[in-house]
């Protein structure tokens, strides 16, 4: 065989191999689309696939899907647990006649798909460019905010392993009306990476900033750069995602400015200005894990700032949940998301809707009570504020402890009273209480500052608070069906401190 023949055979082989790879990639991508949209309605009662079209070619495809977000039109009938009887049915019909179900939001998303192995010039199983499809009326409204830019776009790369990387962009918004206000949103960018099994996800988010003002209410808000990232494991379900996440907000400024009184209006009728709140260097840290089937999570928010002329040297807030039975929680969360009644569907406030919610609560009650056996605990571990070297702190936890199989036969309220526990504590500098009284004296909402010391002494004599140097402290504990204040059982008024 001569050289030209060999090259011809080789070229044909490459063409066949490439064509086979392209066809395989197209088949895999369509299969993933089918699976994703089949699963979507099963996850929540609030999202449905209203229309869907998939036009597949050899080198690519176009997927167009319309999602309906909100309650289904027939939700009113779906939430009714059973038909009413006799006169009650007629009364329900009359009562519900004037109640309209919430309006649904429809979003149409068009994906332009390029099949691999060379997808849009990139070595990948596929690349996908996504955008919102808007009708003429909506497009005109959107252009008032985004101009000619596409409000939301995404570029996705699908690897040969099935892993997905998506770059998402939200366009900036600039809107200003004389005498009404302005909005300057600098957009947002995010990168999301998900493994083939959709059990591992990483994301990075950047929001450059926001500047907003409303002349009618006098509200102004400025937000500096926000960044966030996370590395999560969702193999136990998205409600039980584990891993670490962190974020940082450079600055946040909020104020309500006093407006001039309108002609003929009394000064007291005009909104009062509130001190400008400025928060700086705000860090958010979160962590979650599952061990021996029990879920634990914690989150911390901390930073510094200023309220009016008062400088906040430090603030910190930490909350957590511990020993949450993962399987039980997932079952409750799935039922909650899949219930139209719980999500406000149907004729909100109607007897049928209320009955459906009651039926769901009764259905889930045994699972909820069973979780109590694992001694779950949650609360605000600590909220701390430091100003001029003075520190205020408070916190609380609620939990269940020592629950037995026999206890689970009790009604929910009786179980809580028997095995529920609450611990709360607070520490506030005396100077802060005096300052708060001084600030609120003008409105008559607080006692005069000179009365604060006397009231604290009275509370101390009754055992409700304690003095610890320059601070006022208090502790409350409920357990084993009894209440203690500062370590002593709560007796009659005036006897707690004796």
pLDDT tens per residue across span 404-431: 999 988 888 899 899 999 999 999 999 8
Specify which residues 397 forms β-bridges with.
Answer: 379, 423
pLDDT the model gives residue 188: 95
Residue-wise over 99-129: b if at least 16 C-beta within 10 A, else e? eebeebeebbeebebbbbbebbeeebbbbbe
**pLDDT below 50 — which residues of the chain?**
3-20, 76-90, 92, 94-95, 263, 265-270, 492-498
Q: What sign has the CA pseudo-torsion 214, 219, 222, 226?
A: negative
Q: Distance (Å, rounded) from C-alpha 160 to C-alpha 381?
A: 46
Closest CA to 180 of 218, 221, 128: 218
pLDDT the model gives residue 444: 60
Question: What do you get for the CA distance between the two ends of the chain, in Å?
Answer: 110
Q: Distance (Å, rounded) from C-alpha 46 to C-alpha 42?
A: 10
- Phi, psi angle pair for 30, to nearest 5°: -60, -40
Contact yes or no for 33/49 (Cβ under 8 A): no
Closest CA to 330 of 422, 249, 409, 241: 241
Cα dihedral: 491, 493, 494, 498 (round 10): 0
DSSP string, 399-419: EE-S--TTGGGS-HHHHHHHH
- pLDDT by residue (tens digit) across 235-262? 988 889 999 999 999 999 999 886 555 5
pLDDT the model gives residue 11: 40
Q: Distance (Å, rounded) from C-alpha 232 to C-alpha 241?
A: 6
Contact yes or no for 160/139 (Cβ under 8 A): no
């Amino acid at each position: 065989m001569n050289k030209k023949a060999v090259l011809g055979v080789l070229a044909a082989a490459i063409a066949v191999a490439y064509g086979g790879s392209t066809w395989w990639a197209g088949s895999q991508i369509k299969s993933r689309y089918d699976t994703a949209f089949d699963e979507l309605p099963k996850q929540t009662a609030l999202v449905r696939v209203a229309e869907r079209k998939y036009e597949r070619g050899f080198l690519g495809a176009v997927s167009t899907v319309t999602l309906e977000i909100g309650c289904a039109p027939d939700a009113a009938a779906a939430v009714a647990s059973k038909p009413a009887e006799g006169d009650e049915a007629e009364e329900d019909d009359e009562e519900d006649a004037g109640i309209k179900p919430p309006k649904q939001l429809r979003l149409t998303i068009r994906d332009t798909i390029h099949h691999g192995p060379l997808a849009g010039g990139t070595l990948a199983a596929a690349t996908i460019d996504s955008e919102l499809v808007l009708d003429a009326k909506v497009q005109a409204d959107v252009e008032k905010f985004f101009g000619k830019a596409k409000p939301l776009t995404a570029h996705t790369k699908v690897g040969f392993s099935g892993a997905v990387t998506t770059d998402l962009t939200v366009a900036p918004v600039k809107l200003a009306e004389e005498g009404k206000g302005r909005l300057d949103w600098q957009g947002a960018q995010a990168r999301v990476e998900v493994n083939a099994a959709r059990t591992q996800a990483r994301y990075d988010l950047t929001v450059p900033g926001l500047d907003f003002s409303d002349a009618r209410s006098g509200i102004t808000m400025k937000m500096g750069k926000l960044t966030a990232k996370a590395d999560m494991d969702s193999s136990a379900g998205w409600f039980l995602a584990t891993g670490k996440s962190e974020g940082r907000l450079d600055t946040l400024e909020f104020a309500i400015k006093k407006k001039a009184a309108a002609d003929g209006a009394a000064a007291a009728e005009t909104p009062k200005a509130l001190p400008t709140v400025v928060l700086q260097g705000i860090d958010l840290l979160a962590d979650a894990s599952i061990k021996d089937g029990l879920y634990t999570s914690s989150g911390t928010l901390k930073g510094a700032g200023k309220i009016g002329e008062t400088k906040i040297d430090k603030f910190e807030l930490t909350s957590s949940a511990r020993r949450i039975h993962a399987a039980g929680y997932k079952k409750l969360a799935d039922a909650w998301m899949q219930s139209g009644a719980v999500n406000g569907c149907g004729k909100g406030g109607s007897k049928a809707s209320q009955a459906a919610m009651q039926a769901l609560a009764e259905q889930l009650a045994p699972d909820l009570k069973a979780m109590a056996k694992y001694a779950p605990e949650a609360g605000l571990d600590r909220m701390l504020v430091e100003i001029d070297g003075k520190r205020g702190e408070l916190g609380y936890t609620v939990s269940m402890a020592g629950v037995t199989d026999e206890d689970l036969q009790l009604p929910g309220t009786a179980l809580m009273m028997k095995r529920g526990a609450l611990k709360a504590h607070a520490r506030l500098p005396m100077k802060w209480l005096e300052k708060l009284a001084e600030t609120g004296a003008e409105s008559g909402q607080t006692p005069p500052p000179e009365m604060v010391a006397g009231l604290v002494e009275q509370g101390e004599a009754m055992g409700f608070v304690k003095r610890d140097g320059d601070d006022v402290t208090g502790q409350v504990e409920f357990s084993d069906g009894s209440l203690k204040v500062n370590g002593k059982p709560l007796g009659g008024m005036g006897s707690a401190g004796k």
